[in-house]
Amino acid sequence: MPLWAPKLIIEKRYARSIQKLMQQFALLAHSRADPADILDAWKDYAASAAFQKAAQDIAMKMVTHLFSDGQKSWREAARVNSRGREIYQALQEELTGQTGVVYHELIGQNARLIGTLPETIAEQVTRYVAKEQQKGRRAEEIAVDIAKIFPEKTKARAELIARTEVSKASTTLTRTRCEQVNIRWYVWRTSEDQRVRDSHALMEDVLVCWNAPPSPEALNHERSYGRYHAGNTFNCRCYPEPVVKLEALHWPHKVYYQDRIQMMTLAQFKQIA
């Protein structure tokens, strides 16, 4: 398992927890025969303190897991590095510093995102109900459909949120920790599964500066989605590997610099780094 990759288990657990929370909505659908009643019941539950608290708990578990997992990676990096003491020191003071601020922000963002899930699903269901009513189907039949369709829709949504947000949060934590110890560059790593898109495969093993994210699509002559760092876009399992020690890389090395990927020797790189 690569040292800096966010563990897949964190993503799986996050997806499962979100789905479990959403089961409550499925239960509300099962006991009602009118689609309008179902939607009302969902709205009430989504606005309840119990639901908000559960979303907050789930987000906190995920971010905390990532946070401590990342600490292990940094400790491991510090162990084999001359800057070890500086890194240890930074880790010890984390929760009172900038990383602590980011940690709480990430929990808030994720909790809010989970909180929007019922509404997103409700909108889909509302459209479905309108369409079926036009066909002249009876309310009771449509209500049965909703109870059936709902779990599939939430499962797909929960998986997308987990895949995208775990990756993004992990990149954000790594970046913040890099900033604390003045590490300006990272190596873009792709995940090993076969879903890596071409534009990201192009970025594999490329040195990237935290101050200048690339547009992988533009580099691959595709329509650009804008500039972003490894792991920072939807459905992306890439991750940044902080460059703790330049000499540990193979040289010459690929570097993303001035909007293209170039080969540089260590001496050339040191001039721009």
Q: Which residues bind Zn ion (CB under 5 A)?
A: 200, 236, 238
* Tokens encoding 206: 């490329």
Least distance (Å) between residue 187 CB and Zn ion = 14
Least distance (Å) between residue 165 CB and Zn ion = 14
**CA gap 54, 171 in Å, rounded:** 25
Q: Measured from the CB atom, is 32 or 200 closer to Zn ion?
A: 200
Q: Measured from the CB atom, is 54 or 238 closer to Zn ion?
A: 238
Q: Measured from the CB atom, is 94 or 217 closer to Zn ion?
A: 217
Q: Measured from the CB atom, is 35 or 216 closer to Zn ion?
A: 216
Q: Measured from the CB atom, is 99 or 170 closer to Zn ion?
A: 170
Least distance (Å) between residue 202 CB and Zn ion = 10
Q: Measured from the CB atom, is 58 or 238 closer to Zn ion?
A: 238
**Residues shown for the chain:** 273
Least distance (Å) between residue 230 CB and Zn ion = 7
Least distance (Å) between residue 236 CB and Zn ion = 3
Q: Measured from the CB atom, is 120 or 235 closer to Zn ion?
A: 235
**CA gap 58, 237 in Å, rounded:** 21
**CA gap 56, 70 in Å, rounded:** 21
Least distance (Å) between residue 237 CB and Zn ion = 6
Least distance (Å) between residue 200 CB and Zn ion = 4
Render the burial of 210-223: b for 16+ CB within 10 Å, e for the rest: beebbbbbebeeee
Least distance (Å) between residue 190 CB and Zn ion = 6
Q: Measured from the CB atom, is 128 or 228 closer to Zn ion?
A: 228
